[in-house]
Structure 1
Amino acid sequence: MAVPARRPVASLWIGPRLHYLNQLCLLSHVRQGHPTTLYCTENVDNVPEGIDVRPATEIMSIDMDIVRQTSESFLSNVFRYKMIQATDAVWIDCDAFCHKPFPDEMQNIYAGHGFRGALNCGVVYIPREGELMARLLDYYENLPDAPAWFNKQQRKRLEKQDPSLPHAVRIYNAERTAFGPQAFTWFAQQTGDYEKALSPDYLYPVPFQLNDVFYDPYGRVEGHFTDNTLSVHLYTNGTKPWWRKNPPLPNSYAARMCEQIGVDPAKALEE
């Protein structure tokens, strides 16, 4: 039976090669019928078949010097909103596994995660034309001297930064999440969109602090899921090095999903 065509999803990759978890997560959206695009800053030699690869410069110019001074996530925080505005696709991090398709009618796809309640933007869709989108893009394009939500300690860290560094780098060094969850949470609160957030079980059913459970052959990851669960974030940024350099243990969630989707972990391990 043919999988029905669904709304498009897209992500960004910086680097020459995907890890098997990234292959798994991207393909999981393809298997659910979502046209899946991966925007890349360079040639990536192991993108699975079925994923549309496009140059990241179709969405925005890429300053790799800034990326090298910050991180890949810094660029993706700006990129995701520009991508949504340009293409109307749902943004997906490359470590978000598609458990069920995103409903076509859902216009606010974002949720809190972990134990603190801050909004995450690892999977996100917001209307292309709206106050929240406008405020986020204005923030990135016209950086303030300091983000409005910075407390006294954050402002002190910012003041101590080398003034010769680009302003975006100084803010990043003072607070790594100032361009990601902190910004998204702050502006959603200002526009009233915070109240539209989904509950964590929709997109982040497993708290970040428990991410080792994905590799536990005796752990029942699905016990965290509810009928609402659409996406399962695997949190590769928090994954311990051993799991990145070795295939997952048999019967673990990661191993079972690889078998289900058709990904060979041994062929795409971290070197």
Structure 2
Amino acid sequence: MNRRPVASLWIGERLHYLNQLCLKSHLLQGHPTTLYCTDDVKNAPEGVELRPASDIMEIDMKVVKETSPSFLSNVFRYKMIKKTGAIWIDCDAFCHRPFPEDMDYVFGGHGMIGALNCGVVGLPQDCALMDALLDYYDNLPAYPEWWPKRLRKKMDALDPSVPLSIRIYEVERTAFGPQAFTHFAKKTGDFEKAAPREVLYPVPFQLNDVFYDPYGRVEGHFTDATLSVHLYTNGTKPYWRKNPPLPGSYAARMCEEVGIDPAAALEE
């Protein structure tokens, strides 16, 4: 059965085994999966459709170098949804169950503070939240409108010749990601459409080491409503990026279940 298409972005030449695992998990749940790439990625799981990122937007590698690979993906995901209607998935979001066909708004809270995350996002291609996000990115304000005086003063102290987007990033790394998504979802009245944490982010990011602990009860965080499991690779300790997961850990069990060899795609 073909389910709703999902898509992500990869900036770089090589996927880590956790990224292979997460992409393939969507394929196995029946979701056509596209990976937009800036480079020639040779180790994507079989069945993942590889397309140039420029199909959606040009990725300015100078901006990536001054910020992070995830920075421009915050803009990319909404432009991708607008153009294709696919659900955005971060490359570290594991598909636990298929996304329902009738779930028009796919996003949810994460962590322990009640904010929204944008690691998994589905929106109608035409909606107020989409318009607000794209307008923000396409017409960056001097300061994000939700910033307090403290952050505005920090911004004022930066070299004004540095591009505005990079200055915003330097002041607040999440101003293009969860901060913006949370702010505009509240502004458009869509905040209440957020799924409970257990649906898309069942394990709080503060506890992400549990994925590598053979005695960690990861599934204890899940409910019958859980669709996706975010692995938070940005917060993964270097040891787990450079070494295979311990047998019996959630990461190891999922690799075995999905058919991924961690030792073949470790961080170098």
Same fold (TM over 0.5): yes
Instruction: State which of 225, 232, 257 in structure 2 corresponds to 1:260.
Output: 257
Moved segments of 4+, more than 3 Å: none
Q: In the alignment, does 2:68 pair up with 1:92? A: no
The aligned residue for residue 199 of structure 2 is: 202
The aligned residue for residue 177 of structure 1 is: 174
1:226-270 deviation line (CA, Å, top 9, x unaligned): 000000000000000000000000000000000000000000000
Distance in 2 between the 1:140 and 1:101 partners? 30
1:123-159 deviation line (CA, Å, top 9, x unaligned): 0011110111001000000000100000111111111
Instruction: State which of 36, 39, 44 in structure 2 corresponds to 1:42.
Output: 39
Distance in 1 between the 2:70 and 2:157 partners? 23
The aligned residue for residue 107 of structure 1 is: 104
Distance in 1 between the 2:209 and 2:187 partners? 35
The aligned residue for residue 144 of structure 1 is: 141
Q: Secondary structure at the match of 1:10?
A: strand
Distance in 2 between the 1:161 and 1:11 partners? 32
Q: How many residues align?
A: 268
Q: In the alignment, does 2:235 pair up with 1:238? A: yes
Q: In the alignment, does 2:126 pair up with 1:129? A: yes
Aligned-residue offset at 1:162: 1.4
Amino acid at match of 1:186: H
Q: In the alignment, does 2:28 pair up with 1:31? A: yes
Unaligned runs of 5+ in 2: none
Amino acid at match of 1:214: F
Q: In the alignment, does 2:80 pair up with 1:83? A: yes
Q: Secondary structure at the match of 2:224?
A: coil
Aligned-residue offset at 1:61: 1.4
Q: Secondary structure at the match of 2:108?
A: strand
Amino acid at match of 1:11: S
1:57-93 deviation line (CA, Å, top 9, x unaligned): 0001121111111111111000000000100000000
Amino acid at match of 1:228: A
The aligned residue for residue 65 of structure 1 is: 62
TM-score (norm 2): 0.99
The aligned residue for residue 14 of structure 1 is: 11
Q: Secondary structure at the match of 1:74?
A: coil
Amino acid at match of 1:57: S
Let me know the Cα RMSD of the aligned residues.
Answer: 0.5
Distance in 2 between the 1:142 and 1:95 partners? 29
Unaligned runs of 5+ in 1: none
Moved more, 48-57 or 152-161: 152-161
Amino acid at match of 1:138: D
Aligned-residue offset at 1:34: 0.1
